[in-house]
Amino acid sequence: MSKKNKLNDLVEDIHLSLIEEAAYRRYLEAIYDADACEGSVRADHQMAAIMIRSRALEIGSQVAIEKLETIITALHVVLRRAGMSVKARRDVAGEGFVMKDIGDVNRN
């Protein structure tokens, strides 16, 4: 198992231990910046990552020594695995348009 996969699994374990906490869950609910607690989905995910790192420190997990950006990336993997990524939730909400699709149009 690669270090990256192991880290994703460790973050997932911590995520699952935090998901019942309303304070943590609220940082993962927004799909648009206007709905985010901290003013942007990105900032909300940073707050969730801070909570993950704090819990990791409490339980003695190696996640506690990871950079915040690394934890955020692993959190995104965890959310994507569960079908709960921002994109997946936007799609379910009926807002499936993705800007990168514009470049796929043949403009000859």
Q: Determine phi and psi for 31, rounding to 5 degrees.
A: -115, -10
Q: What angle do CA 9, 39, 47 make, to 5 degrees?
A: 30
**How do the domains of the chain map onto residue ranges?**
3-104
1 pLDDT tier (thresholds 50, 70, 90): low
Interatomic CA distance for residues 77 and 88, integer angstroms: 12
Whether the per-residue pLDDT at 108 is higher than 70: the answer is no
Tens of pLDDT, residues 22-78: 999 999 999 999 999 999 999 999 999 999 999 999 999 999 999 999 999 999 999
Least trusted range by pLDDT, from 3-7, 18-22, 66-70: 3-7
Picking from 84, 52, 79, 87, the residue whose alpha carbon sits closest to that of residue 68 is 52
pLDDT score of 5: 75
